[in-house]
Amino acid sequence: MIHRKPFHTAVFLGSLVLVLLLAGCSGGNQAPTAAADPLVDFSPAVSATGVVKPTRWASLSFLGGGLVREVLIERGDQVSEGQVLARLGNVDQVRASLTATQLELISAQQAYDALIENADVMTAQAQLALANARDALDDAEYNWRVQQQGYRASSDTIDGAEANLVLANEEVDRAQQAYDHASGEASRALALSNLVAAKKQRDSIQRNLNWYLGSPTDIDQAIQDAKLAQAQAQLAAAEREYAKVENGPDAEALGLAEARLENAQAAVRAAESALADTELKAEFAGIVSEVYVRAGEFVGPGQPIALLADLSELIVETTDLNEIDVARIVLGDAVDITFDALPDLVLPGTITYIASKADVGTGVNYVVEVQPDEPFPQGVRWGMTAYIEAVPTE
């Protein structure tokens, strides 16, 4: 590495020569006098090579890949923040996806609103269903109970049926006697009709009495048991449904509606972001330093498209400041900045950043940033070699 001769070092050497010449001109017989040793107060300058860089620059790229439809910039263009620099070709497909997600969002919002607005109606419906289920269970329990032996009829009903059976038997006997003594075809036909009617009446009363006193068959009992269990299950279900909406919308249904709505909102945001990603925009105002692609090329996610820099504020970043020298400087130290390309230019500056970790590369070097005390003149450009020289603060 070759450095330019430090300005402070040249001044020191000239002073040292002058001191030695003055000492040689003194009388040899005079007693030696105390003289200030220039080495005592000497503090060698810290010098390093650096490169001119903008304080803000970025390599811009698309988040997603695709075919480049338009490149709207060229190298050297001045662009403003938010300006579109390039577009991908899949914009129509992404817009269609956005429309689909917006439709789902509308549907999800309507379902959620309906659930909230119809809460009272759903509560009333659940309450009515609960009342009907209770009535149905009462009917099933009654039907089951009256089918059991000993519960089919009251004692008065049974007594009445037995009395009616006695009377019916007597009526059958009278009808039988009348038929037996009837003569003539018409008389016998009438007597037979009366006998048949009397027997039907007696048999009906007998069947009723038998049912009052009897018990259900296995099939009938199974049917009644099933009907009762069904009514009980329907009542339990109605109670559960009413409990869900008694104090407002069903919590589970509300949770699903909210989750659907949130998912739809997230999908819309993602689709909007995907649509925005089809356009590459300038993150800040600056100069387009490089353009890496052309229209019609396919690019991958993260592939550099353009290099954008804000050249209104430049700094010097060191490239070879060693560990010995970095230990001798602090933030705020003043420096002189010079350039190979501009040999007559010397600018004052200030150390604004000192790396806490050595830079990766050859040797143990630390990155230091120097801010000029006044803007660089027009001739200073990004990438130029610069030199800094600082007298460390003691």
Kindly report the average pLDDT of the chain as a whole number: 87
Element (H, E) at 20: helix 7-24
Give residue 99's pLDDT band: very low, low, confident or very high (50, 70, 90).
very high
Q: What is the pLDDT of residue 38?
A: 53
Share of the chain above pLDDT 90, in %: 66
pLDDT digits (tens, 9 = 90+) for 125-168: 999 999 999 999 999 999 998 888 888 888 898 889 899 999 99
Return the domain boundaries, the chain.
7-89+285-390, 119-245
Contact call for residues 293 and 86 (beta carbons, < 8 A): yes
Q: Are 326 and 390 in contact (CB under 8 A)?
A: no
Rounded Cα distance between 202 and 89, Å, is: 97
| Choices 3.60.15.10, 2.30.42.10, 2.40.70.10, 2.40.30.170: CATH for 7-89+285-390 | 2.40.30.170
Torsion of CA 214, 218, 224, 227, to 10 degrees: -170
Both tokens of 35, joined, read 């003289």
Non-local CB neighbours of 167 within 8 Å, separated by 6+ positions: none
pLDDT in tens, 165-222: 999 999 999 999 999 999 989 999 999 999 999 999 999 999 988 888 888 888 988 9
Q: What is the DSSP letter of 46?
A: E
> Across residues 259-287, what is the average pLDDT?
94
CA 98 to chain centre: 17
- What are the tens digits of pLDDT across the range 289-321? 999 999 999 999 999 999 999 999 999 999 999
Query: How is residue 359 written in tokens?
Result: 């830079």
Res. 82: pLDDT tops 70: yes
Report the alpha-carbon angle 116-117-118, nearest 5.
95
What are the structure tokens assigned to 299, written together? 């690019």
Quick: pLDDT tens for 334-381: 999 999 999 999 999 999 999 999 988 778 999 999 999 999 998 999
